[in-house]
C-alpha cells in the first residue's frame, strides 16, 4: 500500500516519511512540515496541515484497532 497522498494544494507527500508538523508562531495559517530525508522543512498552509493530521489520525486508528 502506498502512503503517498495528494494534499489539497496539489503537493504530493509520502506520509511514511513524516517526522513532525509545526505551526508557524507568526501565523495560524502557515505550518512547517518535516519529512525524513529532507534537509529543510516544507511550508504548507492550514488546509494541507489539517489534511495531513486527518490522514495520520486515520492511520493510527487502524493500527490501534488491529
Long-range contacts of 54-62 (CB under 8 A, 24+ apart): 55/5, 55/15, 56/15, 56/18, 59/15
DSSP H helices, 1-66, are 46-65
Residue 35 near residue 17 (C-beta atoms within 8 A): yes
Q: Does position 4 have pLDDT exceeding 50, yes or no? A: yes
Q: Does position 12 have pLDDT exceeding 50, yes or no? A: yes
Q: Does position 2 have pLDDT exceeding 70, yes or no? A: no
pTM to 2 decimal places: 0.77
Interval 16-65: pLDDT, tens: 999 999 987 776 789 999 999 999 999 999 999 999 999 998 766 655 54
The reported pLDDT for the residue numbered 26 is 72
Amino acid at each position: 500500500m502506498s502512503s503517498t497522498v495528494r494534499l489539497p494544494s496539489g503537493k504530493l507527500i509520502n506520509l511514511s516519511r513524516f517526522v513532525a508538523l509545526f505551526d508557524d508562531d507568526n501565523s495560524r495559517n502557515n505550518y512547517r512540515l518535516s519529512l525524513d530525508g529532507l534537509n529543510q522543512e516544507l511550508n504548507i498552509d492550514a488546509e494541507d496541515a489539517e489534511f495531513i493530521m486527518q490522514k495520520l489520525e486515520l492511520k493510527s486508528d487502524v493500527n490501534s484497532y488491529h
